[in-house]
Amino acid sequence: MSKREIPDTRPRYRQVADDLIAQLRAGQHPVGAMLPTETELCAHYAVSRHTVREALRLIEEAGLVSRRQGSGTTVIAQEARGRFVQDISSMTELLQYPEETRLTVLRAKEAKLEGMAAAAAGVTAGESWLRVEGIRRVRVTDAPICFVTLLIRPEYASVLDQVGVEPGPVYGLIEKRFGLAVSAVELDMSACGVPEAQAPLLEVETGAPALLIRRRYMDGQGRVFEVSEATHPAPRFTYRATLKREAG
């Protein structure tokens, strides 16, 4: 009696993605190699370009490949690493990391900001700030999701003993401790390469593609009291939001 074949009910793009992931795990495509082109994958799997792109999106989100328009798909890992996805439903969630992440402070010292460093932070050149550097993770055993540099006005430097220990964002700790209230936050996002000094700590190669997120927190007088700069190596961290069109 022949064994009845169970039909594969997975979406076709999921089937293609799982097959490619299996190939990566088997070492058929080593790290640094290019996957076949979209045209070649379409022909091999007898599927549409849309299906192939959805499959590639899944394996990119798993942290296995890096895709660049015009350059193809490069293998960056053969085993999926943790990727943290933050769902955003409000501006507040965009301005801070979820409670399940933790910041480990590596070093802290007073630093005078000059030239480009002051301009990038959006503060007055020549001022001294507390500079804190650390690594943010979801769990101790997970790969770091970002390297964090904090600049805190010296009059609020004593908050350092709570950073990485107390839950909540650093600006929130400053608010509670010193009775401040954030009046505005400036948020900048840009593409960058991971700096040489940060690469070993982030467990990536120097110059690896990353997302740089800079936040400037202002008090009631419009004065910046904290600057947060985070380097997120691709594809460790994702912001995901759903925008709905207003009826009208």
Residues 208 and 97 in one domain: yes
Residues 61 and 183 in one domain: no
Report, as an integer, the average pLDDT of 157-183. Answer: 88
pLDDT of residue 86: 47
Q: What is the pLDDT of residues 174-193, one digit of tens each?
A: 999 999 888 888 888 899 99
pLDDT of residue 46: 94
Residues 144 and 28 in one domain: no
Supply the range of the domain harboring residue 97. 84-241
Report, as an integer, the average pLDDT of 111-136. Answer: 83
Is pLDDT above 70 for 96?
A: no
Residues 138 and 180 in one domain: yes
34: domain CATH number?
1.10.10.10
Residues 35 and 134 in one domain: no
Q: 235 φ, ψ to 5°?
A: -115, 60
228: domain CATH number?
3.40.1410.10
pLDDT of residue 1: 42
Residues 177 and 71 in one domain: no
Q: Is residue 5 part of a domain?
A: no
Pairwise pLDDT comparison (13 vs 167), residue with the higher score: 13
pLDDT of residue 41: 94
Rg from Cα positions in the chain? 22
Q: Is residue 229 part of a domain?
A: yes
pLDDT of residue 88: 43
Q: Is residue 247 part of a domain?
A: no
Q: Is residue 57 part of a domain?
A: yes
Residues 40 and 120 in one domain: no
What is the tally of structural domains in the chain?
A: 2
Q: Is residue 6 part of a domain?
A: no
Task: Quote the CA–CA distance of 20 and 129 in Å, as a whole number.
Answer: 49
Residues 31 and 148 in one domain: no
pLDDT of residue 241: 57
Cα→Cα distances 41→20, 50, 64, 154, Å: 10, 11, 17, 57
Q: Which residue shows structure tokens 């009845």? A: 4
Residues 230 and 171 in one domain: yes
* Burial class for 70, CB neighbours closer than 10 Å (0-12, 13-18, 19+): exposed
Q: What is the residue-wise DSSP string for the chain? A: -PPPPPP--S-HHHHHHHHHHHHHHTTSS-TTPBPPPHHHHHHHHT--HHHHHHHHHHHHHTTSEEEETTTEEEE--SS----EEEEESSHHHHTS--TT-EEEEEEEEEEE--HHHHHHHTS-TT-EEEEEEEEEESSTTSPPSEEEEEEE-GGGGGGGGTTTTSSS-HHHHHHHHHT----EEEEEEEEEE--TTTHHHHTS-TT-EEEEEEEEEE-TTS-EEEEEEEEEETTSEEEEE---PPP-
pLDDT of residue 59: 85
Is pLDDT above 60 for 248?
A: no
Q: Is residue 246 part of a domain?
A: no
Residues 114 and 149 in one domain: yes
Report, as an integer, the average pLDDT of 42-62. Answer: 88
pLDDT of residue 164: 79
pLDDT of residue 87: 47
